[in-house]
Structure 1
């Protein structure tokens, strides 16, 4: 999988209440939630994010409650992947389950700025900041996680596996 998108840059400890504020959790409709994604930290995000854009953040992205709405709202908003220094583990797992790729870079993302264009190749384990020309290695996601993301999440992936077994 390969993505190229504009960078939205955030800091450390972006929690699930910031990603999708609890006051909007009276619906499970991800498109409705996407309209409010990140609004408490960046009121312009939902109105300006475009399909294929990439969030780059600091440490502990997705901390807080275990709500699966957070990665779902980002994905529904058009976010192709999230690159961060580190992720809260429950957010990481929820993102895999819904097919939102996450890339944990450690401290390797310091030169990526808001508005830069980032090209990410998950299979090759490579990324390039097209604004600066800087290329860097990223941890290649295991093949089965790439397959889950390609399928659109764990449920569609499992449905595909079951359909292949029946054939």
Structure 2
């Protein structure tokens, strides 16, 4: 899989528009099963996966699409979510689709454990946990700024700043581009 997150991080910051979702966003909403035939290791299919990111969200609740029809990438590098983001199946395609679309980070109140692990394994997204509920503090389209050093996210639109939990051991893995690239870089496996 082609990890792209590390290329989008500017030093200690990820800055851009936010896309706000509610609680219990499952992997079927992130990337419906019908798109799981796309192979992320194929660059063209990886790109197509990005065009379908969050396409399973109900339009009546999310009239703004994460990726506009006919586009391959999103204008929202940061997703703000409530509880239990990424619940459902164990499909690695979920963080891959979000990363392929241009997503860099999710800031959620909590995650499904397998989704959090898949973010690290694939190197596609930084899965930040917020110390408070942020879905009422941001609106889709607000400008957000994640500061890795200070472990904060700022709603640049309102000027309010919020604390994030530490990424811990997953950060260097995601920085490297995923578990296999991290293992190569650290000498755990050969660099073939």
> For residue 2 of structure 1, what is the aligned residue in structure 2?
13
Matches within 5 A, 1:114-153: 114-142=140-168, 144-153=169-178
Residue correspondences, number: 164
Q: 1:95 aligns with which of 114, 119, 135?
A: 119
> For residue 55 of structure 2, what is the aligned residue in structure 1?
39
> CA RMSD of the aligned region, Å?
2.1
Contact 1:86 1:106 (C-alpha < 8 Å) held by counterparts: no
Bigger proportion of residues as helix: 1
Normalising by structure 1, we get a TM-score of 0.89
Normalising by structure 2, we get a TM-score of 0.78
- What secondary structure is seen at the aligned counterpart in 1 of 2:187? helix
Q: Following the alignment from structure 1 to structure 2, what is the Cα–Cα distance between the partners of residues 93 and 160?
A: 19
Using the TM superposition, name which of 117-126 and 88-97 deviates more: 117-126
Q: Structure 1: any 5+ residue segments left out of the alignment?
A: none
